[in-house]
Every structure is written in structure tokens, then in C-alpha cells.
Structure 1
Amino acid sequence: MKKDQTFYIPILCLIFLAGLIAMRYLPPINIMGYELKTIDMFSDVENEVPTVEENLPIVAIKPQNKIQCPEGQICIEDYSEDQNYFGNLFHHLQNISLEKDKVRIAFFGDSFIEGDILSGDFRNLLQDKFGGSGVGWVPIASEVAQFRQTIKENFKGFKNFDAVHNPKEKVPYPPFGICTIPLTGNEASFYGTNFSSRTEYIPGFRLFYQTPNTLKIKVETDKETQEVKAEAGTLMNIVEVNYHPAKNVNLSFSTSPNTYLYGVSFEGSSGVYIDNFSLRGNSGLSLLSSSDEMHKALNKIQDYKLVILQYGINAVNEKTKDLSWYTRMMNKVVAEVKEAYPQAAILLVGVGDRSRKINGQYKTMPTIKLMIDAQRSVAAENKIAFWNMYEAMGGENSMVNYVKSKPPKANLDYTHLNFLGGKEIGSSLYKSLLFEYERYKNN
């Protein structure tokens, strides 16, 4: 008997309907330079996403604009009382060649700068201007080891903890929230890259650690092998290891209970060194998970002249209506940084653009502007500096432009920059800081 074909009609209809629904989530499609209109069968019945003004009442602080900013440049907003907030940083930069000094910058952030995106180019430009070689701080066992372009790494035999994903673990977290335990048979190998002339070779390093017993470190390069002993110490300690700059270096560590590795800082002679302290999923609040003593221990070692705080993307979503909790907590974070790093200026970098689908088209998430207002208010209240990365990207819907750029400058999640976009924003941040530096020298 011939099977009734009408049996398949409802099934085919369901498959077709599911396909139409799925198409509303596809990114825009370009064919030979023409963008096809996104198919969204529900766009006419969906409610329009309310604007910030309609649904997100907030008293915004007027952007500070006391100086004439060069055309096409986003100037740093200085909310300090004397309007000379970066004086100590600039003094050390100006005298760096005379004093043979190392000027250190801590760049705390989230996944937006993961893999040294943005910060790598910012570092490279500053080192071009003021000297320095090496990428600064690197985790012992990084989850973005192969993704990063400024240094490569392979590793085995380590157990990682971080303050965002393992907040209840009883480990002594450092300010940057990453802690590594060496296991039997551990090994970490680091390799230079062609990102710039300063990253081809790996200079000597300083190991950050805590251990109740002597820690033995085997150091192998393509030129030599040595064994180093790091003395027992609480909180955070360092041991410095020197060797001829090499294209790769292999490290292995002895194991003992309560030994914690906090990372290595690869650095050459005098110049500028920027530590990329990115931590995925971090809203900035993990800085409070470290003790006051640990913050002060890090500052005693590093003596930072500038602390950059780049956060915000993990504290907002399309339903966010109130960020008063965030400003309260960030006020605590800034207070902690001020107390622990009293000689450092603090630069709060505003959140970049982020897009979501609104009626079938990607547009700036309305809550992004709310976050920028919140971050600027934190800077003003604490009399620190603020830089508007959202405007540096181009403002409203700039993330869409970054994704559609040829070649693309951002990822298809419409949230994160890629290395090309990071290079552009890193250069913008450098120009903004250098503009302030030149004003300092001329006054």
C-alpha cells in the first residue's frame, strides 16, 4: 500500500518554522558588498527596547572639558583637585633615561583585554617612546597561552585558581586574582614572538610566589641551564633570574604544600613595563578579594606609577536598570587601590561599545551609556582620571562598524575587540596619555 504523503506535511512545516526563527539570530550576511536584510518574523510584534532616558533614569555627570582636545582625539578627563594628576608618572617618564629606572603600569581588566589585546599595543608604543623590552607579568599557566600574540606558552602539571570562578577556594589570592599550584612533573615553556622587535627574545624574569619552604626552580633556555633557589616567604615574594636573552625559556618548579605561584614578569633594562592583569568574567570587584596586606606587598615589589582599571562589560546586560550597587562597590575598589598604591595615579577606562539585536538589527545596548555615566561618576567622586573608550571607538553603534569593517576589528559576539581593533584603541589611549605628557612638559 502506498504510504500517505500528508504525514510529512506537519513535520516539514515545523522544520521550516524553526529555520525562520533561527535566522533572526544570524549575524548580517554580506554578498559582494551588499548586506542582506535580517529575517525576523517577530520584529513587528516585539516591543521596542526602551531607551536609557525612558527606562534607566540616572543623573549623569557632565564630561570634564577644561582643555582644548585635538580633533579626532578623546582626551583624558582629570577630576583631581590640582588638575595635575599624572605629575608623578610624568616626572619618572621624563627622567627615565637619566635615572635608568623602570616605570611600571598595572593594567587591570576583564576579557576585553584578554590575550594582551589593546594593552600589548599600548605597551609597545610606550616602549618605543621611553624604552623597555619584555611583556611584563604573565601567568604561569595561562588559559589564553596560544591566543596571545606578544608571548607564547605551553605548560603542564599546574592547578589554577582565580578569584572570579573559584571565589570560595581557601587560597591567598593576589590583587590580580590568579593563583597557580605546581604539581609533580610541571613545566612551563615561554616563547618569543614577532609581535614587535621587543618581543622576539625573552629577557630575564622575576618570579612572584609564596611558599613556606625553599622553592627550587630549574631554568632552561636555548643557550644555558641553571637552578635557582627562592627563599621561603609569606604574602608575595620575588626572586630575580637573569640570563642572556633567549628565544625560549623553560621553567619547572619543586613541589611542596602551600606553595603558590603568582606569575613571572619578563623584563629587560630601564623603560616602561605594563602588566596585563586580565581576568575573564571580572567586573572589577575581585580586587576586593585580595587582602590589604597582599595589595601592599605587590606595590612594594612593583612600585606602580599608574594603575589602569578597565571593567564594566560584565556588570551590565540588556535588563540592567540600576547601577548604584556598582558605583558603591567600585568606590570601594578605588579606595583600596588608592590606599595600597598611594604613589600611583588611577585611570578608570570606560566601557567600550557593546551591541545586541534590537528589532532584527544590531545596535548599541542601551545600558552601555548608563555604565559610562556610572564610571564617570566614580572617577569624579574619587578625584581620579577617566577615559571614554566608548567615544574612542566612535560612540553609538561603533561596535557594529568594528564588526563590519574590512577586515573586521571586533568579534561576532559584538562585545570584544580582536587584535586589529585592540591596536586601534591601544593607539588612541597612547595618544591621549602622550597629549597629557606633552602638556606637563610645556607647563
Structure 2
Amino acid sequence: MSVRKILFFILFVLALLAMIGYFFPKEGMRLGSVKLNFRSTSDLFAPQKQPTTAPDPEEQLAMMAESFLKEKLEALADSIDYYEQFFRESPVRIHFPANDPSILDGFFATLDSCRAQNRVVRVLHYGDSQIEQDRLSATLRDGLQKIAGGMGVGLIPAVQPIPSRTLRQDYEGNIRRYLLYGPSGLRAPHRRYGPMAAVCEVDNYAYLIVNALKRQDSDISNHFTRIRLLLGNNSADFKATIELKDRYETRKISEAGLDLKVISWELNRPENSFSMFLNGTAEIYGILLDGNSGVAVDNIPMRGSSGNLFTGIDSRLLHAAFQAMDVQLFLLEFGGNRMPSIRSQEDIDSYVNVIGRQIRYLKTLVPGAQVLFIGPADMSCSVDGVMQTYPLLEELIEGLKKVVLENGAAFWDLYQVMGGRNSMINWVNTQPPLAAPDYIHFTLKGADKIADLLNENIALCYTNYKFRNKHNLNDSSRLKLSSIELGYSDYAEEFEQLIRENLSPGDSLPEDLDSESVLNEFLELLHKNTERKQE
């Protein structure tokens, strides 16, 4: 073929594409469920659109953290006015129905009493792949266990094919895993999935190996002093044996039955690894690795799930499991998987109504337990060739917030905490990256920073709960302590600890801590050291 013909062919193709671009609808064309778009000639020669800029991730995180520090200091000085302002206006706040944080009072009361009652209370953290590998949950676990005590990684499945930052698991034998989420081929022929929306069916024999991994910043989360096995639909004389180094302990269930059973082992000392032999037929719903008291935070990732599955689990089994586990708080982190299929407000309304039904279902199964819904993070996709926030994401988040609050649950706006529109782009591009190059998932570092902010939020709610109890305040009364000395005397220990955490090596605390002038000096000292650290 001659050069002239090749040139003519190229020009002909370009002219044809330009003609298609000129007449093709700007809004695109739908063929069934597929939407076709074609770049117009004006798009090709026009300057490329720049997405709305979002704040630098580190600056945004520092601003969110600073709001907690400010609230801690000001609450010491001027009492409940600052709590009320925080719960009403702070961009990092947890949103409560009617701005009333007292809905968590029952949960905090159990945290205060669990050690004295030798009781392990549970927080179930459900989410999609955003929380895989124990992301977010591990940091939340550390924070809550600092408040109420406890140890262990909590609820784990018998079989876990996804690597975790806190556990290494393996198995052999005749065991089959069914899931209520993910590919349809993994569904069980029944609805007895248990609290993890998963079930492992053992046929005659299985051998499980569990090794808890030590995390650099935690000394207790990898150890446990109590092992409990949740099972049901077992054969007669079903046996479970744990191996701890060279020691074996066997438990047996003599009678066959469909109902939930719990097999327990109380250990003489904290352990971080064991093996388990299972003999017989049974459905295994999970294994609990805890201390003797305190709080447990369970990581339950459901890859591909939109959080619409709880009503598909047998209610009798789920109620019995939640009761046996002493569940007091549900953390639900969903919405990201639904976003790519959202095309209209009708799609949003349909999804959020399903989420409302799941919240009501969980509250019915565990009366008195509370629900905290964590909204979707910012997510980016290519829009007209430019990476930017998914269309309708903000509308989805507002819809979720509305239905969550209407159903008596709390809502944390992760999108707003990140910095809002197009913030994910900066989280991906910052060094080191705080989000993955898929513009959807956090890195471990990014997840830890988000979890730190949620921990601070929960800690502030807990401090507010203690404050109201100390001064006999109900959710509608207000106490104005104009005296800064009174505020300081009430919170001397907490204030000193806060100051010490922010002192530089060469600074020290004065001995006289009870006057307003000294308190103001402390505030100035703290401000000076904070600026020095930022430099």
C-alpha cells in the first residue's frame, strides 16, 4: 500500500470519528444496562477539566486531630457548652439522632462495669473489603481496650483464606465454607450462617491451626485466656480438642441438635497460638479469642457486600449467637460496593431503605444494643477522562445519614472526615500513600489514621458520658461552670496527663496547679510545644 493511500485512510478515519463525535448525544447512549459515551470534537480541543481541589491529607488529618485536642482543653475550662458545640458543629463528629450522644450511655455503662462483673462485652465491626486484614478494627480494638480492658482478637472464622495483620490461620480435613456474600456459588442450602454471615461445615474430621501475630504497637491484642467455639447442627458425641504446646483438652457434646452450642476452654495463662481437632459433624459459626473480662472488637469483613444481608440469616440462630457473645455495639461500614451501580436518586432511595431495614433487624435481635454506621469513604472514577469523586456519592451519603438517624442509630461521615470531594485523589498521591491506586481502599497507614480519629471520637463521647454522670446531667439539662478552677479541679488528672503527653523533653510541670493563672500558663506551654513539634 502506498504512502498516499495510508495517509488518505488515516484522514478518512479521523473524519469519520469527528462526525460520530459531532452527532453523538453528549449525555451518552444506553444499550440495556451499558452506557456508551463518545468524546466530542470540542472535548478534544478544549482545555482538560480540573477536578475540584481537596485539602492535603496530612493537613486534613491534623485539623481533625486538633479539633479533639481543642475540645479536651476547652471542656476542662468551660464544661458542657463545648461538648454541645462539638456534637453540633465539628466536621469530625459522630452524628446522633437529635444531636443527643446519650444513646451510647448504655454501651459506656457496660464498659465501666465489665471488669468488675468478669464480663466480656462485644463490638461487632461489619464491613466490606475496606476492613479486610483487620484494618480499622485492630486500631479500634486497641483504643477501646485501653478504656475497658480486654485482650484477644475476638471472633474469627474457622477458615480464613484472606491474610490478616493479626492472625495466621490454616486448616486441613473435611471442611466446607459457605458465605452469604460474594459469588453465588458459595451459598449454603440453608440460612444458618451465624454472626459472621458465614458457616464452615465439618464432616467427620477437621484440624485448625491459629497463630496470633504480635503487632508492634500492641502488647495484649495477640494474647487470649479464653477460647470459645460457636457451633450447631452437630452430630451426637461431637468432640473438640485444643492443643496448647504439648497439652490437650477435649470437650464433648453428647446429644445431636440443631441449636447453637458454645464450647469453652479457660486457660491458665495468656496464649497466642493453638490447634483444634474437630471430630464429628457440625456447623462451625466462629471461634472467640478473648480475655476473662473487658471489651472485644471483632473484625468481620464481607468482600463485595453492601450490608444488605443480615435479614437473610436465620433470626433464631443470630439472636442466640449475639446473646451468647454479649453484643453491645454494632459498627456497620458499608456503601462503597453499591456506589458503582448507583445511577439515580431512585437507586439511592432503594438502597438506603434496605439499610434501614438491616438496622431495625439488628436492633430487634439485640434490644438495647446500639448501631454506629460508618459512611462510605471518598471514591474516585474517571469522569470525562478526569479522575474525580463518583457522581451521586454525596447524595448517597446524605441518604444513608438520614435513614440511619431516623432508625435511632449514629452516623460517622468518613467522606467529610477525609476532606470531602476529590479527597481520595490526594490520599492516593501523598507520600507515603494513605490509599491504594484503585482510588477506593485505604492502605494500612491510612486505615490506622482514620481509626485513630474514630477512637478519639468515641473517647470524647465516653468523657462526655462520665462528665454528665458526675454532675447528674440528663440529656436535656445544662450546667455552666464559669469557674475555670472548678473545671480544672474536676479534671485535674486528665488535664495533667494531656499536658504531659505534649511536653517537650526539657519542660516540666509547676507544682502549684490549682490557680487560673497557672492553668493559663499550661495552655500557653501546650500551644508552644505543639507548634514546636509541628515545625
Please confirm whether the aligned pair reaches a TM-score higher than 0.5, indicating the same fold: yes
Deviation at residue 116 of structure 1 after TM alignment: 1.0
**Residue in 2 that maps onto 1:58:** none
CA distance in structure 1 between the partners assigned to 2:41 and 2:444 by the alignment: 35
Residue 43 to residue 333, structure 1, CA distance change in 2 (3 Å)? farther
Give the 3-state SS of the residue equivalent to 1:363 in structure 2: strand
Matched-pair contact (CA < 8 Å) for 1:193–1:199: no
CA gap of 1:316–1:192, structure 2 versus 1, over 3 A, is same
Structure 2 partner of 1:242:
266
- Whole-Å separation in 1 of the counterparts to 2:408 and 2:326: 21
- Give the CA deviation at 1:379: 1.4
| Cα distance change on mapping 1:222 and 1:405 into 2, 3 Å | farther
Which letter does structure 2 place at the counterpart of 1:176?
M
Query: Would you say 1:300 and 2:327 are equivalent positions?
Result: no
Paired amino acid for 1:149? R
**2:149 aligned partner, one-letter code:** G
Q: 2:290 corresponds to which residue?
A: 267
Matches within 5 A, 1:41-120: 44-45=43-44, 67-69=84-86, 74-79=92-97, 83-120=101-138
User: Which residue does 1:315 correspond to in 2?
Assistant: 338
Q: Deviations over 1:38-93 (max 9, x none)?
A: xx9999359999x9xxxxxxxxxxxxx99322997611111169652011111112
- TM-aligned CA deviation for residue 285 of structure 1: 1.1
Q: If you compute each CA radius of gyration, which structure gives the higher value, 1 or 2?
A: 2
> Paired residue for 1:151, among 155, 160, 167?
167
Shift in alpha-carbon separation, 1:67–1:238, aligned structure 2, 3 A: same
Determine the structure 1 residue equivalent to 2:144.
126
Q: Tell me the percent identity.
A: 25
Q: From the superposition, tell whether residues 417 and 271 of structure 1 become closer, same or farther in structure 2 (CA, over 3 Å).
A: same
Q: Do 2:241 and 2:248's aligned partners in 1 also have CA atoms closer than 8 Å? A: yes
Instruction: Indicate if the aligned counterparts of 1:208 and 1:264 stay in contact, CA closer than 8 A.
Output: yes
1:326-371: per-residue Cα shift (whole Å, max 9, x none)?
A: 1221121111011101120111111111111234332211222122
Structure 1 residue 433, shift from structure 2 partner:
1.1
Aligned length: 393
How far apart are the structure 2 equivalents of 1:74 and 1:82? 16
Contact 2:226 2:292 in 1 (8 A): no
2:210 alignment partner, one of 166, 174, 190? 190
1:203 maps to what in 2? 225
C-alpha distance 203-411 of structure 1, shift in aligned 2 (>3 A) = farther
- Report the CA distance between 1:121 and its aligned residue: 0.7
Long gaps (5+) in structure 2: 11-38, 52-81, 469-535
Residue 16 of structure 1 is matched in structure 2 by none
My pick for the range that moved more, 219-228 or 411-420, is 219-228
Does the residue aligned with 1:149 lie in a helix, a strand or coil? coil
Matched with 2:198 is 178
What is the aligned partner in structure 1 of residue 507 from structure 2?
none
Q: What is the aligned partner in structure 2 of residue 394 from structure 1?
A: 419
1:287 counterpart = 2:307: no
**In structure 2, C-alpha distance between the alignment counterparts of 1:97 and 1:201, rounded to whole Å:** 17
Q: Distance in 2 between matches of 1:423 and 1:245?
A: 26
- 3-state DSSP class of the match of 1:85? helix
Q: TM-score, normalised by structure 1?
A: 0.81
Once the 2 structures are TM-superposed, how far is the Cα of residue 137 of structure 1 from its aligned partner? Answer: 0.2
SS at match of 1:67: helix
1:262 match: secondary structure:
strand
Q: Secondary structure at the match of 1:100?
A: coil
Contact 2:179 / 2:197 at 8 angstroms: preserved in 1?
Answer: yes
1:383 CA displacement: 2.1
Q: Is the 8 Å Cα contact of residues 43 and 360 (structure 1) preserved in structure 2?
A: no
Q: What secondary structure does 2:288 align onto?
A: strand
Q: Secondary structure at the match of 1:172?
A: coil
* Aligned match of 1:54: none
| Deviation for aligned residue 1:205 | 1.0
Tell me which residue corresponds to 1:36.
none
Asked whether the 8 Å contact 1:220–1:250 carries over to 2, the reply is yes
Partner of 1:218: 241
**SS at 1:410 equivalent:** coil
Pick from 344, 360, 368 the counterpart of residue 335 of structure 1. Answer: 360
Deviation at 1:226, TM superposition (A): 2.1
Backbone CA RMSD of aligned residues: 3.0
Counting helix residues as a fraction of each chain, which structure ranks higher?
A: 2
What secondary structure sits across from 2:258 in the alignment?
strand
